[in-house]
Amino acid sequence: MEQVTAATVKQAGKVIAVHLSYQSRADQRGRTPAKPSYFLKASSSLSLTDSKTERPAGCELLAYEGEIALVIGTAARRVSVEDAWSHVGYVTASNDLGVYDLKYADKGSNVRSKSGDGFTPFGPGLIPAADVNPTALRVRTWINGEPVQDDTTAGLIFPFSQIVADLSQLMTLDPGDVILTGTPAGSSVAVPGDVIEVEVSSAAPDLSTAGSNTAGSNPAGLSTGRLRTVVVQGETQFADFGNGPKATDSDREDAYGSAEAAGLTPKGLSAELKRKLTSVGTATLSAQLRKRGLNNVSIDGLKSTRPELRIAGTARTLRYVPNREDLFKAHGGGYNAQKRIINTLNDGDVLVMEARGEPGTGTVGDILALRAQVKGAAAIVTDGGVRDVAAVAALDMPTFFTGSHPAVLGRKHIPWDTDLTISCGGATVQPGDIIVGDADGVLVIPPSLAEEVADDAITQEHEETYIAEMVAEGNSVEGLYPMNAAWKSRFADWATTHPNPAAQP
């Protein structure tokens, strides 16, 4: 087994990283990709064991990702899956470090967030690829001596041979190139003073999955040794001519792995408030809002793909502006505002879109609507059109929309910005507002009023149940709807034997 040296590091022409490749990580993220996808890291980010890596000044979210790294041994171009492993020279340990504070500036490229000096520690030992079974390797990570990641390549979604073969379809993999093969569950945030260690070793071979990826005898005891990195605090501030650090709670949740791990208050409505709001109709809630002087809180002109469902959630907002071809090139393509907000939705969020009431193009289609559902969104609300309406209507999550249209959003709209105050269907919507919808329509409820509005709406519907029974028995609505003092007294007697089920938690 060879040791990684400075010469080895300098030999790397390119560093290619896989976004998501372990099922344990996919389960943690709530999505399993059908095919592998990649990003590049600067080769200057490579460093040796016992190195010091700076958390840049002003950043709080330096995340570690223990990974198995492949070092290409012989050039590979358009190689088959069956032949791919023979082009791998060595296996070693790596740490795919990155700062989530800068991800917003990358627009999906990971250049700033992942390519800092020392952000790819590498080594310390190089295990010859011919000596191991790639389906039977183990990767482990420790923080200050405590284990935090432990998985084997039996848990890969994409075998190493598939990754090598896939990359070789597009580019020549040259000797010395490094492929970071993804991290398992357990990645989190490191702080200055932390010592991160990563080790790759041989695991017991799984003969049932060996097949074309089997190579070597996988002898027991092969190990890279522990790759050791010390986190230190950077002191040099970012200059104002470039993007500086900026972190949101969504970034913190992603970096730590969960809202709980990040120490965040759970987002969205409480389960009890959501139960209350969905136990009554929007017609009743609208009456209660009107009593409080709120007459312009209805998002008008929409229909639901699932009119039998009632939804309640917290608003996330997206604004479209009218399409202008020169601007669409910069804002409409790639990882645009529409895709970014959908990718950061949380359980119980309602994505509300301002499309200026323009139905002449789709503002969401089947793939992104499915992504919103997978992320846990309660609903999508748009005062524009929907593409692929049959597929969107087949989802469990309802979408409220003006009509269907086959065109993509670029015909009329540019997705411009997110999480700001918008207008949708004639109503003003702010991030964090409570959105309630059913077959009758969609309402915007100020969070400060939600609890009392829900309680009074529950009481109102209980009273109206009694009124309906009395009308069915032949009573006149005069003095009954609304109830005068005499009818209120009778209702009080009736309520003692007919408790309100919606009022019970």
253 or 116, which is more confident? 116
- pTM assigned to the model: 0.59
Joined together, the tokens standing for residue 304 give 């639901």
pLDDT exceeds cutoff 80 at 205: no
pLDDT exceeds cutoff 50 at 216: no
Give Cα separations from 353 to 11, 339, 345, 405, 447 (angstroms). Answer: 49, 13, 13, 16, 19
- Return the SS3 of 196: strand
Report the mean per-residue pLDDT for the chain: 91
The 10s digit of each residue's pLDDT in 133-147 is 999 999 999 999 999
- pLDDT given at position 258: 80
Strands 349-354 and 379-382: parallel
% pLDDT > 70, the chain: 95
Joined together, the tokens standing for residue 455 give 């309680």
pLDDT exceeds cutoff 80 at 259: no
State phi, psi for 444 to the nearest 5 degrees. -110, 120
pLDDT exceeds cutoff 70 at 169: yes
Same domain, 36 and 150: yes
- pLDDT given at position 210: 35
- pLDDT given at position 267: 60
400 in a domain, yes or no? yes
268 in a domain, yes or no? no
Q: Which domain holds residue 7?
A: 2-216+223-256
pLDDT exceeds cutoff 60 at 487: yes
Same domain, 348 and 372: yes
**How many other C-beta atoms are found inside a 10 Å radius of the C-beta of residue 293?**
6
The whole-angstrom separation of Cα 100 and Cα 270 is 28
The whole-angstrom separation of Cα 79 and Cα 301 is 55
Q: What is the mean pLDDT of residues 321-332?
A: 85
Domain count for the chain, please give it.
3
The one-letter code for the residue type at 67 is E
- pLDDT given at position 204: 52
Same domain, 45 and 184: yes
- pLDDT given at position 1: 79
Same domain, 422 and 461: no
- pLDDT given at position 10: 81
The 10s digit of each residue's pLDDT in 392-406 is 999 999 999 999 999
The 10s digit of each residue's pLDDT in 233-252 is 999 999 999 999 998 888 88
186 in a domain, yes or no? yes
- In the annotated binding site, the residues are 365-368, 387-388
Instruction: Find out whether 379 and 397 touch, Cβ atoms under 8 Å.
Output: yes
- In the annotated binding site for Mg(2+), the residues are 388
The one-letter code for the residue type at 328 is F
Joined together, the tokens standing for residue 185 give 């569950």
411 or 471, which is more confident? 471
Q: Using alpha carbons, select from 278, 212, 329 the residue that is nearest to residue 445.
A: 278
pLDDT exceeds cutoff 80 at 31: no
Structure confidence at residue 217 as a pLDDT band (50, 70, 90): very low
- CATH code assigned at 338: 3.50.30.40
- Return the SS3 of 54: strand
pLDDT exceeds cutoff 80 at 264: no
The structure tokens 């009509």 sit at 403
Same domain, 174 and 304: no
Same domain, 302 and 425: yes
- pLDDT given at position 215: 41
Q: What is the mean pLDDT of residues 440-463?
A: 94
Same domain, 400 and 491: no
Same domain, 490 and 386: no
The 10s digit of each residue's pLDDT in 1-14 is 788 888 888 888 99
Q: Which of 445, 477, 493 is the last residue before a domain boundary?
A: 445
Same domain, 103 and 44: yes
- CATH code assigned at 103: 3.90.850.10
pLDDT exceeds cutoff 80 at 388: yes
240 in a domain, yes or no? yes
Lowest mean pLDDT among 178-182, 302-306, 342-346: 342-346
335 in a domain, yes or no? yes
Q: Using alpha carbons, select from 347, 379, 182, 382 the residue that is nearest to residue 250.
A: 347
Lowest mean pLDDT among 247-256, 298-307, 435-444: 247-256
Can you say how many angstroms the Cα of residue 148 is from the centroid of all Cα atoms in its chain? 22
CB neighbour list of residue 354: distance below 8 Å, 6 or more residues apart: 317, 318, 319, 320, 383, 422, 423, 424, 429
Q: Is 321 exposed, middle or buried (0-12, 13-18, 19+ CB in 10 A)?
A: middle
Same domain, 53 and 177: yes
12 in a domain, yes or no? yes
- pLDDT given at position 209: 39
Same domain, 195 and 122: yes
Same domain, 231 and 311: no
273 in a domain, yes or no? no
Instruction: Find out whether 35 and 16 touch, Cβ atoms under 8 Å.
Output: no
- pLDDT given at position 86: 97
Range among 26-40, 248-262, 432-446 with highest mean pLDDT value: 432-446
Q: What is the mean pLDDT of residues 491-499?
A: 90
The whole-angstrom separation of Cα 41 and Cα 17 is 7
- In the annotated binding site for substrate, the residues are 365-368, 387
The 10s digit of each residue's pLDDT in 43-61 is 999 999 999 999 999 999 9
pLDDT exceeds cutoff 50 at 349: yes
The whole-angstrom separation of Cα 216 and Cα 203 is 13
Joined together, the tokens standing for residue 457 give 């709406």
120 in a domain, yes or no? yes
**How many other C-beta atoms are found inside a 10 Å radius of the C-beta of residue 456?**
18
- pLDDT given at position 206: 44
